[in-house]
Amino acid sequence: MARALLIVDVQNDFTEDGALAVAGGAELAARISAFLHRHAEDEYDLVVGSRDWHHGDDDNGGHFAGPEGPDFVTTWPVHCVAGTPGAEYHPELDTEYVDVDVFKGQGTPDYSAFQARTDGGVLLPGLLAEHHVTTVDVIGLATDHCVRATALDALAAGYDVAVFDDLVAGVDADRSARALDEIRTAGGHVDHSDMDEGLANPGGAVL
């Protein structure tokens, strides 16, 4: 009956000045760090960080746009190429509490962290099974893309799933609201964390 926290794609390319920037991404990274400092050790048996980790020498199964340019639905600008600064976690994300990294999109157009695997090749469902996880909380980027896909896959796999609406950020506000509604409809919980506006992050800045 273990509980896991999935931190989805809090990477440089998905935050300000990145190839696919989400507004507020840097602030979200700091807010997640504050949440981890408050909750990770006492409330989670496993903390997993997922990252897009794309090939740099092919189109990753059509995920990267060709000469016609991206449609921002199924094709995208080049982003999160393995080993590049854009694929690294945002520096405001404190990775001290991340127990395991999983990587997705290695030659394929993956969105869900449930398509990701460890360096040793273990898929996320297998990793969760190893730790007897039954409850999964999902936070990160972006609400209307990879957070949505991850939460829906977790629900389809039979986990008790919650998304914290103040610990995610989306590309499009309306689409993000629809994504959260879709998660609710599928049986997930959309909750608000206990992180209030006056909480200071470890560096002393007020979030």
DSSP result, 97-155? G--EEEEE-SSS---SGGG-B-TT--BHHHHHHHTTEEEEEEEEE-IIIIIHHHHHHHH
Instruction: State yes or no: is 9 an active-site residue.
Output: yes
CB–CB of 114/102 below 8 Å?
Answer: no
Q: Is residue 43 part of a domain?
A: yes
Q: Which pair of structure tokens corresponds to residue 5?
A: 């926290």
Q: pLDDT tens across 148-185, in order?
A: 999 999 999 999 999 999 999 999 999 999 999 999 99
Catalytic residue among 9, 13, 94, 153: 9
Query: Strand 100-104 relative to strand 133-141: parallel, antiparallel, unpaired?
Result: unpaired
* pLDDT of residue 5 exceeding 90: yes
Q: Is residue 69 part of a domain?
A: no
Residue written as tokens 């959309």? 190
Catalytic residue among 110, 144, 146, 153: 146
Q: Is residue 70 part of a domain?
A: no
Catalytic residue among 94, 104, 137, 153: 104
The single-letter DSSP state of residue 66 is -
| 159 SS3 class | coil
Instruction: State yes or no: is 80 an active-site residue.
Output: no
* pLDDT of residue 204 exceeding 90: no
Instruction: State yes or no: is 17 an active-site residue.
Output: no
- Nearest-angstrom CA–CA distance, 198 and 168: 18
| Full domain range(s) for residue 94 | 2-51+89-103+111-191
CATH of the domain at 24: 3.40.50.850
Domains identified in the chain, total number: 1
- Nearest-angstrom CA–CA distance, 116 and 69: 26
pLDDT at 1: 86
Q: Is residue 77 part of a domain?
A: no
Task: Please give the single-letter amino acid code of residue 129.
Answer: A
Q: How confident is the model at residue 187 (pLDDT cuts 50, 70, 90)?
A: very high
